[in-house]
Amino acid sequence: MKGNRKALETKRKNIRPPYRVWEEDGKVILELEMPGVKKDDLEIRIENNELEIIGKRPVSETKGEYLVKERREGDFYRVFTLDNTIDQEKIEAELANGVLTLQLALKESEKPKLIKVKTA
């Protein structure tokens, strides 16, 4: 994201999948790590300029006793506040290889404009 513009802002605490955000080709891309999560275990919705991602990370079964366990399991909830640069009608989501990728299109008025230089 350019400058100090915040197209996305996260809030609320719970199990929170790690994420990263960047801007490319007139879109803000949001990626969240979702190992083991299936499409049917996810709900994504927008309400009052908030993008909500709700789901369940499956509990790993083991026959032994954990010595170390950094991965959190169970229900998760992540909320991102959308600013007015995002076109809420043009958001796409894809889940592949344990990564949820959302493409949030910028409104046309927010995309960079190319100015052609004329010669005299």
Distance between CA atoms of residues 100 and 16, nearest Å: 13
The DSSP secondary-structure symbol of 59 reads P
Over residues 79-88, the pLDDT tens digits come to: 999 988 899 9
Terminal-to-terminal C-alpha distance of the chain: 36
Single-letter amino acid code for the residue at 90: K
Burial class (CB in 10 A: 0-12, 13-18, 19+), 40: exposed
Over residues 104-114, the pLDDT tens digits come to: 998 877 667 78
Over residues 8-43, the pLDDT tens digits come to: 554 444 678 899 999 998 899 999 999 889 999 999
- What pTM value is reported for the model? 0.74
The DSSP secondary-structure symbol of 110 reads G
- Other C-beta atoms within 10 Å of 80: how many? 24
Ordered by where they begin, the domains of the chain are: 8-60+73-109 (2.60.40.790)
